[in-house]
């Protein structure tokens, strides 16, 4: 895990997928896990998580994969725009988790999955991060924020899975390459080791 301190005193945390997966496992409930996974596995912003309803999930044309309609997205200035929407990739296991939650809690198709405030979701992430820190012994988990989950998602796709930046931009709702370039330029520790271990210096 890499951490960078910003000028305002906040932290950017760069997690591997294995490190990230400690967070949903440490979630306090089914709903907490879904909120975390919508950010870390689907690339949603914390505010977008609050708008997800069962009716926004649909099967893709191949009949095997799923997509999630994201409503209330931001424009390139960072402002939320009514009616702006996109489709993002919804992993099959995340869809299954959501479906179990919907069935168990009898959630209607037009009812929010996460009907709380942004601050509450941020608190859920902070609590899961404390749990992951205790489990792993790595105190850097305690610096993880909701935006780090989206950062982890984008960095994983771009750097580890080599997904086209244009696809990641479309899935994540970025209209400017400049906004996504920092995620593309931030290698993980594993990438550095793989790339540099054979270099003679």
Query: What mean pLDDT value characterizes the chain?
Result: 89
pLDDT range class, residue 30, cuts 50, 70, 90: very high
pLDDT tens per residue across span 14-29:
899 999 999 999 998 9
Write out the DSSP string of 35-53. HHHHHHTT---HHHHTT--
pLDDT tens per residue across span 154-166:
999 998 898 999 9
Kindly state whether residue 150 falls inside one of the protein's structural domains.
yes
Contact in structure between 169 and 85 (CB atoms under 8 Å)? no
Kindly state whether residue 38 falls inside one of the protein's structural domains.
yes
Kindly state whether residue 163 falls inside one of the protein's structural domains.
yes
pLDDT at residue number 83: 46
CATH of the domain at 70: 1.10.443.10
Kindly state whether residue 144 falls inside one of the protein's structural domains.
yes
Tell me what percent of the residues of the chain surpass a pLDDT of 90: 69
d(CA 54, CA 108): 7
Question: What is the count of structural domains for the chain?
Answer: 1
Taking residues 113-136, report their average pLDDT: 96
Kindly state whether residue 201 falls inside one of the protein's structural domains.
no
d(CA 120, CA 36): 12
pLDDT tens per residue across span 63-113:
999 999 998 655 444 554 444 689 999 999 999 999 999 999 999 999 999
Kindly state whether residue 200 falls inside one of the protein's structural domains.
no
pLDDT at residue number 82: 45
d(CA 139, CA 137): 6
Residue with tokens 């000028």: 7
Which of residues 185 and 93 earns the better pLDDT score?
Answer: 93
pLDDT at residue number 187: 61
**Three-point CA angle 82, 178, 1, nearest 5°:** 100
66 has which bridge partners? Answer: 59, 90
d(CA 174, CA 166): 9
Kindly state whether residue 153 falls inside one of the protein's structural domains.
yes
> pTM of this prediction?
0.86
pLDDT at residue number 76: 45
**Three-point CA angle 175, 36, 41, nearest 5°:** 50
Kindly state whether residue 132 falls inside one of the protein's structural domains.
yes
pLDDT at residue number 73: 54
14 has which bridge partners? Answer: 2
Range of the domain at 35: 2-195
The total of other beta-carbon atoms located within 10 Å of residue 161's CB is 10
Contact in structure between 31 and 101 (CB atoms under 8 Å)? yes
Among the ranges given (3-17, 19-33, 117-131, 185-199), the one the predictor scored with the smallest mean pLDDT: 185-199
């Amino acid at each position: 895990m890499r951490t960078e301190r910003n000028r305002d005193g906040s932290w950017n945390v760069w997690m591997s997928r294995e490190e990230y997966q400690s967070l949903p496992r440490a979630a306090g409930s089914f709903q907490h896990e879904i909120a975390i996974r919508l950010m870390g596995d689907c690339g949603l912003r914390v505010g977008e998580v609050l708008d997800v309803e069962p009716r926004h999930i649909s099967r893709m044309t191949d009949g095997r994969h799923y997509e999630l309609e994201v409503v209330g997205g931001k424009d390139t200035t960072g402002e939320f725009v009514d009616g702006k929407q996109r489709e993002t990739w919804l992993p099959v296991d995340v869809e299954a988790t959501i479906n179990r939650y919907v069935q168990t809690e009898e959630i209607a198709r037009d009812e929010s999955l996460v009907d709380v405030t942004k601050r509450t979701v941020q608190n859920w992430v902070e609590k899961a991060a404390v749990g992951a820190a205790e489990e792993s012994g790595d105190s850097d988990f305690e610096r993880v924020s909701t935006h780090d989950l989206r950062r982890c998602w984008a960095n994983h796709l771009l750097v580890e899975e080599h997904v086209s930046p244009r696809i990641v931009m479309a899935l994540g709702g970025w209209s400017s390459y400049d906004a996504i370039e920092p995620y593309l330029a931030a290698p993980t520790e594993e990438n550095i080791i793989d790339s540099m271990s054979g270099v003679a210096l």
